Structure 1
Amino acid sequence: MAAGLMERYRLAGVAPPQLMYVDRDCCSSFGGSKTAAMYNEWDQLVVRLDIWHLMRRFAAGVTTESHQLYGPFMRQLSACIFEWDAGDVRRLLEAKRSALEGKHGMVGLTEAEVSRLIGRKEIALHCRRRTCGAAATEVLLLDLLETFNSEKGVDTLGIPLLDSIHIQAIWQEQRRHLHCIQDPPGVQLYTETGKITPRLGLSLRTGLHILGVIPPQPVPGQMQCISRHSYWMDR
């Protein structure tokens, strides 16, 4: 499959992908990535672990997905990995403040007050998300697991969310992959599809995250290639 995909790129005269997301074989304790070795003609290829798959590995440590705290746990797990782009958020806050002052006469609002008036769909439309960095994610994940592995991780029936022994084993195995999920520097993951200028506001971009090239037949290990298009998970 790898040889065939590389040949298709050669015949099409298309530059090789810069980035590939996989569900396994992103790295190795005994050398480089097995996936990168399969695509040996693409010497600049960066291999990353798909973040959804890493999150599902941690989800395997819960006692049941029907637990009352499963949803909050998964949302906080995502927050340990991703953050909003600070520049995009600042621009959205400025535009929102300008619109509130111009349309509704709401002046003198603090940044926190303006932020509370921005909905999740609004921030997702105008702001990019990025990974926090391996070191920051490790600290946040440790705190999250400790919190939900305590009395705070027990529901109203006294049932714990996490299987204590299992989640510790998962952490010991998966912590090495925190470097494998980070956004690679210099690779554009977002495609800007347009701009809107609210009345009395600043110009804001609207972004669309486009899936790149997917191999046409089932393969051992899901792979997603980034070429001229951009890929991003629906976070």
Structure 2
Amino acid sequence: MDSTKKITKKLAGTAKGTGLWLTSVGNEFGQVLISVLTAQEGAGLDRMVDGLVRRYQEAGVDPPAVLYVDCGCCTDVGETKLKARFRGWPELTVKLDIWHFMHRIAVGCTADANQQYPIFMSRISACIFEWDAADVSLLRQAKRALLMSQGWPPLTDADVNKHLTREELALHCWRRTCGEETTILLLEQLLTELMSNKGNDSLGVPLLDKERMEHIWSVQKGI
């Protein structure tokens, strides 16, 4: 579930200014289940949630196990307002969406205009996600067969990997998370590396604000 102002800014004519937020809920297949326009973020969403819960019940479909959101997922005491809003699904677990988790970490950068910022975001993603090994193995076999049919000599796995494009990986292979312990370890190694001189660009400007990043990471790794 996510909310945005970008769509409401496109409203024109008599509809202009009537809605400030668009909230949408999608499923694991990327399909949008419901979208509602509201005057402000969080307002009037109870009816949307109740309607969504009822649709699942009427369709005889098991309720979702996890809901990923951009905020309102964590609390030290009791349940969050969002968890209470989905009271029709008492077993539902509410978690922070990985994309928003990545951008929370990126707040520790000195500027997104830094030369290393795009590489930093790519490396964060690599710390969190990995390609399914079985899918990659099948894709590699198919790629090897294709290359050899075009006259290439026998190739090692490393050689074939050089010919696999990101588009092919995304089309044919699932991605999965590396697991909590591995992700924390990899991210800590990445942040430690980039908070040293290795994190400076060609002009000597550091990518990360060390003090701010240390605070952000101490908070975010516990989510």
- Identify whether the pair has TM-score above 0.5, normalized to the shorter chain: yes
Are the structure 2 counterparts of residues 8 and 148 from structure 1 closer, same or farther at C-alpha, using a change threshold of 3 Å?
A: closer
Q: Which residue is 2:73 aligned to?
A: 26
Deviation at 1:28, TM superposition (A): 2.3
Matches within 5 A, 1:31-110: 31-101=78-148, 103-110=149-156
Are the structure 2 counterparts of residues 11 and 110 from structure 1 closer, same or farther at C-alpha, using a change threshold of 3 Å?
A: closer
Task: Could you tell me which runs of 5 or more consecutive residues in structure 2 were left unpaired when the two chains were aligned.
Answer: 1-44
Q: Does 1:124 align with 2:170?
A: yes
The runs of 4+ residues in structure 1 deviating greater than 6 Å are: none
- Identity rate of aligned residues, in percent? 44
Letter in 2 for 1:24: C
Deviation at 1:71, TM superposition (A): 1.1
Asked if the contact 2:127/2:187 (under 8 Å) is kept, the reply is: yes
Q: Distance in 1 between matches of 2:79 and 2:202?
A: 46
Q: Distance in 2 between matches of 1:159 and 1:36?
A: 42
Q: Distance in 1 between matches of 2:220 and 2:166?
A: 30
Deviation at 1:108, TM superposition (A): 2.1
Q: Deviations over 1:169-210 (max 9, x none)?
A: 000110112xxxxxxxxxxxxxxxxxxxxxxxxxxxxxxxxx
Task: Could you tell me which runs of 5 or more consecutive residues in structure 1 were left unpaired when the two chains were aligned.
Answer: 178-235
Higher relative contact order (CA 8 A, sep 6+): 1
CA RMSD of aligned residues (A): 1.8
Are the structure 2 counterparts of residues 107 and 72 from structure 1 closer, same or farther at C-alpha, using a change threshold of 3 Å?
A: same
Asked if the contact 2:184/2:221 (under 8 Å) is kept, the reply is: yes
Query: Does the residue aligned with 1:47 lie in a helix, a strand or coil?
Result: strand
Q: Name the stretch that deviates more: 33-42 or 53-62.
A: 33-42
Asked if the contact 2:49/2:85 (under 8 Å) is kept, the reply is: no
Letter in 1 for 2:116: L
Asked if the contact 1:62/1:162 (under 8 Å) is kept, the reply is: yes
Q: Which has the larger radius of gyration?
A: 2
TM-score normalised to structure 2 length: 0.73
